Amino acid sequence: MSRLHDMGGRFGDGLIPLPRDAENEVTNFEPTFKYKWHAKAWAITLAAGALGEWNLDISRHYRECLPPKDYINFSYYEKWLAALTNLLIDKELISLNELKEYVFAAEKGTLRKFSDKDVKLDQRTWLAKDVQKTLGWGGPSIRDTNVSPVFDIGNKVITQNYNPNKDISGGHTRLPKYAMGRVGVIHSYNNNHVFPDKNAHGLGENPLPLYTVEFKSSELWGELAESQNDSILLDLWEPYLKLFPN
């Protein structure tokens, strides 16, 4: 059981939409943002996130929770905008009436931006002078805890099946459907990281051991595997894994 964003391995998708040059060769060049509104949607999302009312996992989960018909129809940044709108309302940063009022004005062409002196900046608002500093810090998910990893490198493990999120039905998880119930080998241990399955639901950071697990292509795709040699590696938290008896 999963949601539409969890699309690894599914059938039906066509050619990769690659930019090509005049000779029809794949090119490495395309603008960072194709349209001005893409840039704005992206920047507004980052700036609103900096208010501190939600974390990265919550914002991911809001995008994943868009109704399937919207998730399918929306372009990338439309998903961002829709999820941001729902977050702003749920966290009461804006009201539904305010939203309706501004949408109405936008459609009538009567949107009005207040002059700077009429705007009172919120204490939490991200200021331009702090942008480089904040980007440079980033938001590390590693936590110093005394939790020791249960598995050793080289251990054979099997991933959870069905519902990896044990607290919330249909809750956020980072174990993709295509790798559920499959046997892999612990490739490395990457310290303890904030656990998205809880953090996305405001249940605390609960940092836990994070492993990179290697799966043979044939374990994931059976006889459809392109090559017996190939493998797929995923970063998986300890609760997604159980020791697989040899």
Length of the chain counted residue by residue: 246
User: Min. distance of Cβ 95 from another protein in angstroms?
Assistant: 10
The residues, ordered by sequence, that sit 6+ positions from 202 with a Cβ below 8 Å of its Cβ are: 58
Please give the DSSP secondary-structure letter assigned to residue 146: -
Query: Is 39 or 147 the residue whose CB approaches another protein more closely?
Result: 39
What single letter denotes the amino acid at residue 138? Answer: G
Sort 38 into a burial class: Cβ within 10 Å, 0-12 / 13-18 / 19+: middle
SS3 214: strand
User: Min. distance of Cβ 156 from another protein in angstroms?
Assistant: 18
Sign (positive or negative) of CA dihedral 87, 89, 92, 93: positive
Query: Is 5 or 156 the residue whose CB approaches another protein more closely?
Result: 5
User: Min. distance of Cβ 148 from another protein in angstroms?
Assistant: 19
Query: Is 223 or 246 the residue whose CB approaches another protein more closely?
Result: 223
Cα–Cα distances in angstroms (integers) from residue 39 to residues 16, 33, 34, in the given order: 23, 6, 8
User: Min. distance of Cβ 213 from another protein in angstroms?
Assistant: 10
User: Min. distance of Cβ 239 from another protein in angstroms?
Assistant: 13
Query: Is 202 or 242 the residue whose CB approaches another protein more closely?
Result: 202
Query: Is 22 or 96 the residue whose CB approaches another protein more closely?
Result: 96
